[in-house]
A and B are shown apart, each in its own frame.
Chain A
Amino acid sequence: MTMIKAQHLAVSYGHGDTALKVVKDVSFEAQKGETFGLVGESGCGKSTILGALAGRNKQWTGSIEIEGETIGQKRTRAQLAKQQLVFQDPFGSIHPRHTIGRTLLEPLEIHGKDRRQERIEKVLTDVGLPLKFRYRYPHQLSGGQRQRVAIARALILEPKILLLDEPTSALDVSIQAEILNLLKDLREREKLTYILVSHDLAVVAHLCDRVAIMQSGGFVEIATRQQLLENTVEHPYTRILMDGSRGYVSEKRERNSAALPA
């Protein structure tokens, strides 16, 4: 079943003569339970696509279908609740003066949900945090715990889709592993569909089934996980990004090894 279907999606910022087209005519779809990746360098439009899917950015053209339902620029609450965002920086995305319980309560109030305390307890358990954390403030939590709170806040409305914007790039390697494992578990348990934005192809290959590689607002290639792992991607730009996630490639060493007979 197709969960997300975007066709000829274009997104712009600004009006009139100064309007800037950031995403230019991209089409993709994601099946239920699938993780679709968006990879590219800063400014290529990957987060803007997430913004348009989430309903944050309303200046888009083309068509978006969520769960078979065509979405317009204006959405109902129920339509907005279907997809939720998780941001990159857990230090900047949670209100510093609200307790975790208060932060988790807010979406429930906005969407007029019942059984609020029960829902907060369930979602904290789901992301692997102790229940007493609802009385804590963000500064009393580590980076990994905060990112769990951000995921809990996204899950509390029982969405079908999570839009993940670089969910682990602000975290240490060992904490990144915990969050990636959690995301994998949640996807299976809750039958979620993910759109994952990242600049690290190793993270993307770990979680995603298919990946769109973006450059200046368009897709250069849609590669499968298999292609990434077997190193059979087609576009040279994808190869550059893959080399990047492996580390530094010395030009001298390359020149030397090219000159030497193997």
Chain B
Amino acid sequence: MANTSDTILTVENMSVEFPTLTGVTTAVHDVSFTVGREKVGIIGESGSGKSTTGRAIMRLQPPQAIVKANRMQFEDVDLMTASEEEMRSIRGRRIAMILQDPKYSLNPVMTVGEQISETVILHERATRQEARNRTLAMLERVNIRDPERVFDLYPHEVSGGMGQRIMISMMLIAQPSLIIADEPTSALDVTVRQQVLTILDDLVVERNIGLIFISHDLNLVRSFCDRVIIMYAGRVVETITAADLDQAQHPYTRGLLNALPSLDRPKDRLEVLRRDPAWLEN
């Protein structure tokens, strides 16, 4: 279990609002959590605000969105008051983000190597040669066998699993202290998913950093993360140690667990989640 007293990120009462023609929609509602040097999972169904939460931390929300919070502290930086220039030096360097589908998130007209080197060239003003060497070392670290060959490939020439490993190497080359992974393995096949998660797991432990793992897959989060935050309709309904997920108290979490078909506990009919309006109060 990671040392949670060593806090990297503190979020207190964060709300994200989207003004629309028919009034203000609150996508995230008074969310508070902390992340230490550990793997924290955020679970929720589509529209529960889990991705919006991840983006708001990096201030990557759409321009019309309004983020309110009592406190958003990342290490020594107050994310509420940081200027756009400060944010630029944080994004990619100190907080990194891994997205769902490497097919859409890599630049299709740049070689893989150029894209990874770009991070160190921009953030650390490294020379091209130095950046190339570090990129090759990083590609090797994510178990790519022939880094010299992969360096000159374009994204369409690599498989989904390799694309996601390239994303991971791009995120980790600048040595961030917090990684936000938004559904990093949902587009991958089971066997490839296992490899990608192993790499991610090893790197988080090796560098002693924090990971926010956003996912809709209960079994995956339960087995991969240390702690789980369960979100429903923009609210945190429960925070629980991943190993104790089966003992979850909130009826929503219980409902999700019971709705899941299982190889270990087969049942004839799956339980259908009944949504209680009372969950929206608090």
Contact = CB atoms under 8 A, between A and B. Distances in A.
A205 B190 contact: no
B272 interface: yes
Nearest to A201: B263
Given A41-B189, A180-B270, A246 B259 contact: no
Contact of A177 (B197, B263, B271): B271
B222 A206 contact: no
Contacts of B271: 177
B219 A246 contact: yes
A41 B260 contact: no
Contacts of B272: 174, 177-178, 181
B194 A246 contact: no
A180 B198 CA distance: 32
B22 interface: no
A172 B191 contact: no
Nearest to B205: A252
Contacts of A250: 198, 201, 223
Nearest to B256: A173
A240 interface: yes
A41 B187 CA distance: 11
Contacts, number: 94
Interface string A231-261: 1000000001111111111111000000000
Interface residues of B, number: 34
A199 interface: yes
A251 B198 contact: yes
Interface string A149-183: 00000000000000000000000111011101100
Given A174-B255, A177-B270, A180-B270, A205 B263 contact: yes
A202 B263 CA distance: 5
B266 interface: yes
A203 interface: yes
A5 interface: no
Given A240-B190, A241-B190, A174 B263 contact: no
A131 to B, nearest CB: 22
Contacts of A246: 219, 223, 263-264
Contacts of A202: 260-263
Nearest to B265: A229
Nearest to A242: B263
A206 B220 contact: no
Interface string A90-130: 00000000000000000000000000000000000000000
Contacts of B45: 172-174
B190 A172 contact: no
A245 B219 CA distance: 8
A242 to B, nearest CB: 6
A206 B198 contact: no
Interface in B39-61: 45-46
Contacts of A231: 263
A212 interface: no
A41 B218 contact: no
A210 to B, nearest CB: 15
B216 interface: yes
A173 B197 CA distance: 22
Interface of A: 41-42, 143, 172-174, 176-178, 180-181, 184, 199, 201-203, 205-206, 228-229, 231, 240-252
- List 10 A-B pairs, minimum CB-CB distance, nearest first: A244-B190, A247-B223, A174-B273, A247-B219, A177-B259, A177-B270, A206-B261, A41-B189, A172-B45, A248-B224
23 contacts: A41-B189, A42-B189, A172-B45, A177-B271, A180-B261, A180-B270, A181-B270, A181-B272, A199-B189, A201-B263, A202-B260, A206-B261, A206-B270, A228-B263, A229-B266, A243-B190, A244-B190, A244-B193, A244-B194, A245-B263, A248-B220, A248-B223, A249-B194
Given A174-B256, A245-B219, A252-B201, 8 more contacts: A176-B261, A202-B262, A228-B263, A231-B263, A243-B190, A244-B194, A248-B197, A250-B201
